[in-house]
Structure 1
Amino acid sequence: MLAGKHILLIIGGGIAAFKSLDLIRRLRELGAEVTPVLTRAGEEFVTPLSVSALAGKKVFRDLFDLGDEAEMGHIQLSRVADLLVVAPATADLMAKMAQGHANDLASTLLLATDTPVMIAPAMNVRMWDHSATQRNLERLKQDGITVVGPNEGDMACGEYGPGRMAEPMEIVSAIEAHLSDGPLNGKRILVTSGPTHEPIDPVRYIANRSSGAQGTAIARALAALGAEVIFVTGPADVPPPDGVQVIRVQTAQQMLDAARAALPVDAGIFAAAVADWRVDGASDRKLKKSKDGLPTLSFAENPDILKTISQMEKGRPPLVVGFAAETNDVIDNATAKRARKGCDWIVANDVSPETGIMGGTENAVTLITSDGAEDWPRMNKKAVAEKLAARIAQALG
Structure 2
Amino acid sequence: IIGTERHESRRVDRQLRGRAGRQGDPGSSVFFVSLEDDLMRLFSSDRIASVMDKLGFQEGEMIEHKMISNSIERAQKKVEENNFGIRKRLLEYDDVMNKQRTVVYTKRRHALMGERIGMDIVNMIWDRCANAIENNDYEGCQMELLQTLAMETPFTEEEFRNEKKDKLAEKTFNIAMENFKRKTERLAQIANPVIKQVYENQGHMYENILIPITDGKRMYNISCNLKAAYESESKEVVKAFEKSILLHVIDEAWKENLRELDELKHSVQNASYEQKDPLLIYKLESVTLFDAMVNKINNQTISILMRGQIPVQEAPDESAARRVEVRQAAPEQRQDMSKYRENKENLSDPNQQAAASQDTREQQKREPIRAEKTVGRNDPCPCGSGKKYKNCHGKNL
Question: Which TM-score band (shorter chain)?
Answer: under 0.3
Structure ranking higher on relative contact order (CA contacts 8 Å, 6+ apart): 2
The structure with more helix, counted as a fraction of residues? 2
Question: Greater CA radius of gyration, 1 or 2?
Answer: 2
TM-score (norm 1): 0.23
